[in-house]
Amino acid sequence: MEDLQAEKHKDTVITFEELGVDRLFVDESDTFKNLFFATKMNNVAGLSTSKSQRASDMFAKTRYLDELTGSKGVIFATGTPISNSIAEMYTVQRYLQYETLKKMGMAHFDSWASRFGETVTSMELAPEGTGYRQRTRFAKFYNLPELMNLFHEVADIKTADQLNLPTPQVVYHNEMAKPTEFQLAYLQELSERATEIHNRKVDPSKDNMLVITNDGRKLGLDQRLIDPSAGDAPGSKLNMCVENIRKIWQDGMENRLTQLVFCDSSTPKKDGGFNVYDDIKAKLIARGMPENEIAFIHDAKSDIQKKALFAKVRHGTVRVLLGSTEKMGAGTNAQDRLIALHNLDCPWRPRDVGRILRTFKIKKNVEVTDNGKDDF
């Protein structure tokens, strides 16, 4: 709790109470899902007990506004209230129904879980892919009607069929890239590293599952991200994506149709090293595309520069825009001439999956190419 109450990163100029805020609207509220809670279920997988200062700060603000407004001063909006674990339902209720939970004797997680949650023990594929292991997870609801009645006291749930938004008619293409010898060998090395970590033979500060996962994402994107000397594989997903972009660019020349490329890894750098963005740009230029028709969202450092860049995409001046889900997944008003989206890798968070099509409400057909698959 000392970490959550640390004052060293907080200013002392003015307090939240002195601002006079009497209502709080929180968009993408699932970014505050890592709210700390105490539990005795130490052997249950999927229960996050991370200590997020951002979430704790939000909880303090919601409690203050609840006291000020009689629990009517906080509004959360999100498309993914539960993204990783059903324990996040409890977190949402703590934010919005804390007094109700207290009255019902469910202010503590274990009390809430004993009424609405069920642990399930099953065999799962080991993360390193070398076998199976038995894991216990908090994975099922029971007393679901009662839980939903309680949740509906604060939740207004709308599904896609109820909203009837003007989303595009999508044509999906999944491109399968054959792995190289280097990728197959390194994949085996990742499996061996994961086994060592599981057997507690490695110092977590030197290697851990998060590092292995990140290395695996790099390997799937381009082998040169692991070893720059590995060479450019002709059949890699990167080269397949470049060829798709060039073909669509050529076909849409008359109407100056535009494309967006999403890649969360290997963003542009100024150190002269290899990165995916510059590699794609160089290959497109080599195939005849003018350099001024290719842009990176990372070059727009301010909101004004972003608006100017999006205007160029809408007018067809910039015809290929590359960016990450974080920088280009929301608030990107660039859909007027958009004909294709290319996904080079999979986002980390479930909330980002499908965000692209929710963001671009296009009233015409659009092609989405997923280059995020390797035939390992």
Higher pLDDT, 23 or 126: 23
- Measured in residues, the chain has a length of 376
Q: What is the pLDDT of residue 362?
A: 39
Is residue 214 pLDDT above 50, yes or no?
yes
**Per-residue pLDDT, 314:** 93
For the chain, state the CA radius of gyration: 24
What percentage of the chain exceeds 70 in pLDDT? 88
Determine if the pTM surpasses 0.85: no
Q: What pLDDT score was predicted for residue 354? A: 58
Give, in degrees to the nearest 5, the angle at Cα 363 between 360 and 369: 55
Confidence of residue 360 (pLDDT cuts 50, 70, 90): very low
Q: 3-state SS string over 290-352? A: CHHHEEEHHHCCCHHHHHHHHHHHHHCCCCEEEECHHHHCCCCCCCCCEEEEEECCCCCCHHH
Average pLDDT over residues 49-57: 84
Report pLDDT for 102.
Answer: 94
Tally the C-alpha atoms within 13 A of residue 331's C-alpha that lie toward its C-beta.
Answer: 11
- The answer to whether domain 161-178+235-376 has CATH 3.30.365.10 is no
How much is the mean pLDDT over the chain?
Answer: 85
pLDDT at residue 363, as a whole number: 37
Per-residue pLDDT band for 119 (boundaries 50, 70, 90) equals confident
Domain assignments of the chain as residue spans, ordered by start: 17-157, 161-178+235-376, 179-233
Mean pLDDT over residues 326-334, rounded?
81
Which one has a higher pLDDT value, 282 or 127? Answer: 282
